[in-house]
């Protein structure tokens, strides 16, 4: 089963457009896991187990692991996901973008070392920097388009032939790069008007949508702007709001994550129809 098929099945199976981000911040871990050699694995797998029936995808952010020298723990988490929840897509959030020969190595890292179903990439260096990822036609290539951060406008709103650059990227991916039907786009929830414009350009192409939760994106506006006619088409990502939902004392961190994930999934679903 390729990435797009697996994602479509997960939307239906779990009745969910929620993507749970895995961004381990040791300073926010529960006390009993701080300082533990396998603390990241234990934390992330507990979150996965608590939310697996509520999510359409999981998205580990590689920087949070690499900064700690914890790539081996990321490998273990990815292996756990693949073996325990093989029906849920695993997206490696890496935002890679480099020349072809180097991009091939990054693709191997994502798809062979970590076994990801999809990886995020930057289009800034053009088609030959993205082409190597297409050598794995069953995997997803999720291209940055209109990002959720405020500084994204510095470049993404530049005029390109009478249209902003992010719209040019959307058309380029939809019309030229998506030859194998494996592409998706990153479009932030913080800009619902631009999200709607991208949806109009790319049709039913999946959109990875960060920016709700801790970043403050409006769920109703996001869903209404980005949903397809069938009420799907989106992976709406939330990380910190779910991972660190538990107060310092009281509710168990995994139970708190499940509560917030369910609330978020259900809020998203209110606006899908």
Per DSSP, the three-state class of 137 is: coil
Active site residue 95: yes
Calpha distance 176→191 (Å, rounded) = 25
The pairs formed by 177-182 with CB atoms below 8 angstroms and a separation of 24 or more are 177/127, 177/130, 177/134, 177/141, 177/143, 178/205, 179/134, 180/134, 180/137, 181/4, 182/2, 182/3, 182/4, 182/134, 182/137, 182/138, 182/139, 182/140, 182/141
Calpha distance 221→267 (Å, rounded) = 12
End-to-end CA distance of the chain: 27
Exposed (0-12), middle (13-18) or buried (19+): which is 82, by Cβ within 10 Å? middle
Per annotation, catalytic residue among 95, 104, 224, 240: 95
| Torsion angles phi and psi, residue 38, rounded to 5 | -110, 25
Tokens 């990321």 found at: 74
Residues with catalytic annotation? 95
């Amino acid at each position: 089963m390729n990435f797009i098929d697996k994602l479509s099945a997960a939307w239906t199976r779990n009745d969910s457009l929620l993507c749970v981000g895995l961004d381990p911040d040791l300073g926010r871990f529960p006390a009993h896991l701080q300082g533990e050699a396998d603390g990241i694995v234990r934390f992330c797998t507990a979150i996965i187990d608590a939310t697996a029936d509520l999510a359409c995808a999981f998205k580990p952010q590689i920087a949070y692991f690499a900064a700690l020298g914890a790539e081996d723990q990321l490998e273990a988490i990815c292996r756990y996901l693949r073996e325990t929840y093989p029906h849920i897509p695993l997206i490696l959030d890496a935002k890679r973008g480099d020349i072809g020969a180097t991009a091939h190595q990054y693709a191997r890292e994502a798809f062979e070392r970590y076994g990801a179903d999809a990886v995020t990439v930057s289009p800034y260096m053009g088609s030959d920097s993205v082409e190597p990822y297409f050598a794995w036609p069953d995997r997803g290539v999720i291209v940055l388009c209109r990002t959720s951060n405020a500084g994204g406008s510095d470049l993404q709103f530049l005029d390109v032939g009478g249209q902003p650059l992010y719209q040019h990227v959307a058309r380029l991916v939809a019309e030229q790069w998506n030859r194998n039907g494996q592409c998706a786009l990153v479009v932030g929830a913080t800009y619902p008007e631009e999200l709607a414009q991208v949806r109009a350009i790319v049709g039913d192409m999946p959109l990875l949508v960060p920016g709700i939760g801790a970043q403050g994106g409006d769920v109703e506006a996001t869903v209404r702007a980005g949903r397809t006619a069938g009420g799907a088409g989106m992976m709406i990502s939330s990380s910190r709001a779910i991972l660190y939902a538990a107060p310092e004392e009281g509710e168990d961190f995994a139970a708190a994550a499940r509560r917030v994930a369910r609330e978020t999934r259900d809020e998203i679903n209110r606006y899908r129809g």
